[in-house]
Structure 1
Amino acid sequence: MTIALVTGATQGLGLALAEGLAQRLKPTDTVYLTGRDAVRVAAAVGSVQGSAQVRGELFDVAQPNSAHDLAEQLKQRHGGVDIVFGNAVMRIGPDDDPREIADEYTQVNNFGTTRLLREFAPLLNDNGRLLVVASSLGTLHHLAPVLHGRFTAPSTLDEIDDQIARWRDEIKENRTGAWPGFVNIPSKIGQVAAVRVLAAQRREEDTERGILIASACPGMINTPTSALWWDVSTAPTPAQAAKALLDLALDPVKREHYGELVRHGEVVPFS
């Protein structure tokens, strides 16, 4: 019996991941489709077609205790989990003022990610997968060299959180310095760095147990939010983009993927 969890799963890529899992898993398996709005979660569950059981759960990653509470529930019900997709994200548009959205943005995208990593990595069964949906923007190539140490020096998730909090405060105080204007870049780098830190701590044990922890880039996707920034008219649909991520979750582990950012089966170098 496989237990899978997808965060941010009421629309777009998250919904496509939940449906893809439901279609590729067995009737004895369970996919937890999560989101922060009960009505939208119920509607999403009702829309999914597949053979596995799909259960809706309220899960707001921005709430400090939410990851812990859900992890405890799943531990009591199942003992552990097999697949976790961290896909929850706060979407922003070109007209959003970074100073006004910095608190909520980092709570969802970054602190939500580290909470998920802390709580669900210990629940992974043998051969489990913990995948954070990130972006190829989450590499140091997109960041001024003077800032690289902010993401390469930390060796714990707490230290990553400290760096994200520091960046958030600099945005709010308009002390942006060498930071790029597009807040998605440092945020994604923070997510990838968090995965790398956790993987460095767990590598030996996870290798023995067949576990994969990684971040994953789905590439450009044709969604209304992406269309605010780029021409996505020829980009893959969420269902098409989900395929490579589902393969990463369900195919045999490639050890070179461990702790790395993976796009279409290939490692994207962090630096």
Structure 2
Amino acid sequence: MFVELDADGRRRVLRTETLLVLALSLGASGVSALISFIGSLTRPGGLKDQAATLNGSYAPGRPWLDLAWQLFGIATALVPVLLVAHLLTREGAPGLRVLGFDRTRPVGDLGRGALVAAGIGSAGLLFYLGARATGFNLTVVPEALPDVWWKFPVLILSAVQNSVVEEVIVLAYLLRRLDQLGWSPMAALLASSLLRGSYHLYQGIGGFIGNVVMGVVFVLAYRRWGRVGPLVVAHALLDIVAFGGYALLAGKVGWLPTP
């Protein structure tokens, strides 16, 4: 039996729900990234002399066990998205479709996502190189997986997982809940963008600032289109190029920093 709540009661429930979802997902990642950043700041040497590895091996020298851990990590990271879908359904909404995460407009989502990725990708790379050169960023190592047959499929799955979790939760779900709680559009934009920056702080100040700017762009695009699908596509393309490009180019071109 469900208890009928007044307006204040519904707001309290939504506020608690939102905090719990974030605590189980990217809010916790933000706290973890802050602790990691403090550790990097207090370690001898500059930030650019330290490395932040995004996709590393869980079982070096044991490829099948490593693959099992990789797939387990990717699958469990998606559980908060399933929780969000469940909570939206209980609300009476059609699950993730209310956020524009469905297959009703594949061509439009792919086209818009590719355009966003092209614009952000080139600017983001230049910003990262500049931030690292000036000592505001760690050296980001997008992948450090062994050279085995499943390397690139796992990198692609990892990129898709990152994009789905971040855009569904930090962009679409969070904005929906903040709107329902009566936040102004500007306050919601700042909250979403700063949260996005916070869980990239382990990369350094450059990673924080770059992702805050990306967050602002994504919020504005989501408000305009009313669909998170294109932003999931954009984020997935950005990560696929970053992970795969690093795997192919690291140590072979002089402009790409390596540890």
TM-score > 0.5, shorter chain as reference = no
Normalized per residue, which structure has more helix?
Answer: 2
Normalized per residue, which structure has more strand?
Answer: 1
